[in-house]
Amino acid sequence: MSLKKLNKVQKQAVEAVTGPVLIFAGAGSGKTRVLTHKMWYLINECGYKPENILALTFTNKAAKEMRDRVKKLLKTDDLPITIGTFHSVCARLLRDEATNLGFSRNFAIYDVQDQLDLIRVVLNTLNISKDVITANGARNYISYSKNKMISPEAEMKKARTKIEQKKADVFISYQKALRENDALDFDDLLLYPLELFEKFPKVLNKYQKRFKYILVDEYQDTNRPQYFFVTALSEKHSNISVVGDDDQSIYGWRGADVTNILDFEKFFPSCQIFTLEKNYRSTQQILDAATAVVTHNNKRTKKTLKSQYGDGELVGLFETSDELEEADAIISAIQKEIKMKKRTFCDFAVLYRTNAQSRPIEDSLRRMGIPYNIIGGIRFYNRKEVKDVLAYLRLVINLKDTISLRRIINFPPRGIGAKTMDKCVEKARLERIELFDVLKDADKLSIRGKQSESLKNFFKLIKKYHNLRFKLSPGELTRALVEDAGIQTYFKQSLDPEDAERLDNFKELLNSIDEFTQRRPNSNLSDFLEEVSLLTDIDHWNDSDNRVTLMTIHSSKGLEFPIVFISGLDDGLFPIYSNLEDQESLEEERRLFYVALTRSQDRAYLLYATNRRRTGGENLLGMPSRFINEIPSEYLERIEFESALTNRVISGSRFKSTKIRTTRTITAFNDFKVGDLVEHPIFGSGKIMVLSGMGENQRVGVLFKDGTKKKLIVKYANLSKVN
């Protein structure tokens, strides 16, 4: 084996094995290849023992890929190299050394839910109302403090207000409770090794002797504890190689510190620096457009990426009227790519800034029968906060729906626990009445008066809207119900930053109901719930792996796709409004855009809307993201888009232009029969094998020539008969 397959700079970086080494690896420049070849080189050419090498990364997937590649290079199945995530390596270390800190070797590791449960106990002990501090809010505060290496005592000293003092109290009590439970949380796994190294120099020396060479992947994503961990371990030998890209540092919101890589030379003055600029993923047009945006950041190193694959096509740009037309534009581009370039569904990825943006895209893909997967998230209608509201609506329609009742009986919190529900279930069983009817006479149960009152109020709430279900439109009823139930207030008052996104998802559900009503003016709530259920069922009909991928940009890190759509490029949505005023936050948003665009191999499409629903019904005028304006016009191709939905044409002089037209042909209902030959704009020709329903609810099951089976709603399928 040799290093002949590496380019010149990659080879130089691999062979630099003395002292600290910093490798700036631009997007798609082969950083994993460099790391794995470096491990091979250290063992085969430099005489390092595998057990003396430590390789750190951030995901189990990346660690596994790295291990598999090194095994292949070394032609062995036995690989005693320590390759793992920061958390897994630190946990292993603490198992051996925990007694020094007063923990047993069998300490528990608390996940997020465990943390929340413990924090709720702490809040109750301190008599702090959830209206003052939520468990989620406290957990985020504690985690942020730990990532910044701020102790609970330090937080108390700097506390100025009563709420700050209460939060510090929670932090102190939480850490005490963890110790009492012989437990560590994920952040502790990174902090306690540092405490070990400081208090017990012999322990530090032990691991410095063991790990004579250290490699770190994705160094731009390290936080303060991780920086101090690798710095301490490498202090004896100074043999450390880090690989990363400051332009892809996108996790500042969870503690990552981009200065760790930018200031590496200050921390390690004798370091060698290499910059990987040859790109093996994207075309030059994509790289130039992405670079043009990220160069507006002040805190970065200069890199000029050169594509292995030539110029390629210009970056496509769609201006759309709203989120519905945005989804239309995506589908029309998919249709064109499949027809003209023989693409398959797995070639496409749709990226967005927040999870709530997926709903209109999901709806459109379903109606067109296009299979998709959501990575790093949950399907919109399966997200907890969405399912909770849908459960309210289902119970309003069907009072016998005990599954929905059980789901929402204590959401928002009403003090109704499992024991109370068990008593309700038992009474329903003994008296042979509906579970819902038990709630009406809750004062007859052997429970506290407050719980009894909560159950009766819940009964009255649901009964009220059950009687209004045909008198109000679906949108009117849903808005009134969630207000009465306190759902919207619950999300608005939450201190948990994640609840802001949950509120967005809730508002997006309201948007979907409004859009449904616009499509079907004479419909009712039952019709909407039926459609949601139908759309979900269609997804399970064809279990193919050949699917369009939908994900947030954060989830796309490290992935690549032939065709990428970046949706929602409205100023205030991406970059997100809350980050517009802060320079550091805006620079991270810009890096996030860079990551999104460089996921694309062959073609990228940018989309923005001039109007978009963002607040549960309110239409906001939109402006194109400043990131679009930061891309020179020679890299952009404005695509004139005519949608039958809005009957409008987009034009512009700044950009090169092409035209795409999409139409929604609705075949006359009840015009199909089993055995008919049909044509679909994406799947091609096929034969109807199954038919059900009538009128607007008519559905067909089609077997297409390539073997694909699809169940389609006739109204939206754009099917035409083949004579």
Q: Which of 92, 34, 75, 69 is nearest to 210 (CA)?
A: 92
Q: How many CA atoms lie within 13 A of 222 on its CB side?
A: 29
The token pair at 442 is: 């809750």
pLDDT surpassing 70 at residue 534? no
The token pair at 479 is: 């808005």
Q: Which residues, in sequence order, are bridge partners of residue 561? A: 600
Average pLDDT estimate for 521-549: 62
pLDDT band at 658 (very low <50, low <70, confident <90, very high): low
Distance, in Å, from the CA atom of 225 to the CA atom of 442, rounded to the nearest integer, reads 53
- Judged by average pLDDT, the poorest of 104-108, 349-353, 455-459, 586-590 is 104-108
Return all residues near 74 (Cβ < 8 A) that are at least 6 apart: 40, 43, 44
Q: Which of 88, 123, 124, 125 is nearest to 109 (CA)?
A: 88
Convert the pLDDT of each residue in 82-134 to its tens digit. 998 898 889 889 888 989 999 877 677 777 767 887 888 789 889 999 889 99
Residue pair 660/332 in contact (Cβ under 8 Å)? The answer is yes
3 state SS of 333: helix
Residues forming the active site: 31-32, 217-218, 248, 599
679-681-683-684 Cα dihedral, nearest 10 degrees: 40
Q: Which of 710, 607, 594 is nearest to 361 (CA)?
A: 607
Distance, in Å, from the CA atom of 697 to the CA atom of 53, rounded to the nearest integer, reads 63
Q: Could you tell me which residue, 276 or 84, shows the higher pLDDT?
A: 276
Average pLDDT estimate for 446-467: 85
pLDDT at 646: 38
Torsion sign across C-alpha atoms 431, 437, 439, 441: negative
Task: Burial-class residue 487 by CB neighbours within 10 Å (0-12, 13-18, 19+).
Answer: buried
Convert the pLDDT of each residue in 482-526 to its tens digit. 888 888 888 877 767 677 777 888 888 888 888 888 877 877 787
pLDDT surpassing 50 at residue 275? yes
pLDDT band at 645 (very low <50, low <70, confident <90, very high): very low
pLDDT at 540: 36
CB atoms under 10 Å from CB of 117, counted, come to 11
Instruction: Catalogue the E-assigned strands of 157-222.
Output: 183-185, 213-216
pLDDT at 655: 57
Average pLDDT estimate for 204-216: 96
pLDDT band at 280 (very low <50, low <70, confident <90, very high): very high
pLDDT band at 616 (very low <50, low <70, confident <90, very high): low
Convert the pLDDT of each residue in 566-579 to its tens digit. 999 998 899 987 77
The token pair at 102 is: 């007063």
Tokens 């490798």 belong to: 23
- Judged by average pLDDT, the poorest of 246-260, 589-603, 635-649 is 635-649
- % residues pLDDT > 90 (the chain): 42
Average pLDDT estimate for 223-242: 94
pLDDT band at 206 (very low <50, low <70, confident <90, very high): very high
Convert the pLDDT of each residue in 282-296 to its tens digit. 999 999 999 999 999
Q: ∠282-318-511 over CA atoms, to 5°?
A: 115
Distance, in Å, from the CA atom of 635 to the CA atom of 653, rounded to the nearest integer, reads 14
Q: Which of 562, 27, 56, 152 is nearest to 346 (CA)?
A: 562
Q: How many CA atoms lie within 13 A of 662 on its CB side?
A: 26
Q: ∠610-616-622 over CA atoms, to 5°?
A: 15
